[in-house]
Structure 1
């Protein structure tokens, strides 16, 4: 058996976002950091897209719908 360590890649709107090493292990802190770049990430859904090119890809998808009623 061989163990392979995958890096994590976070995407939003087709853009790969930076992952600072000190936040790499904390998804909630990383989401807050990414939200400083793109505020809509706070309300976005994080979807794991699987492994691509040796990296585990997570994509932030914007919430779609109508505003209040």
Structure 2
């Protein structure tokens, strides 16, 4: 059995976002932090994209549809 250490990556629109160490274990706080960089993240859906290589990817996906 082999144990691999995964690194967590948050992506928005194809861009890997920074993860401050003090927010690494707080998904709500991290989302608020990322929303200061990209305000559309507040309305985006959080999707677990799975494991790619040695990274666990979580994506913020913009809501698609019509207003109203």
1:25 to 2:25 alignment? yes
Mapped to 2, the partners of 1:2 and 1:20 lie a distance apart of 28
Q: TM-score, normalised by structure 1?
A: 0.91
Mapped to 1, the partners of 2:16 and 2:2 lie a distance apart of 28
Q: TM-score, normalised by structure 2?
A: 0.92
CA shift, 1:5, in A, is: 2.9
Gaps spanning 5+ residues in structure 1: where? none
Mapped to 1, the partners of 2:12 and 2:28 lie a distance apart of 16
CA shift, 1:7, in A, is: 1.4
CA shift, 1:56, in A, is: 0.4
CA shift, 1:6, in A, is: 1.5
Instruction: Identify the residue that residue 41 of structure 2 maps to in structure 1.
Output: 41
Give the aligned length: 68
> Which stretches of structure 1, 4 residues or more, deviate above 6 A after TM superposition?
none
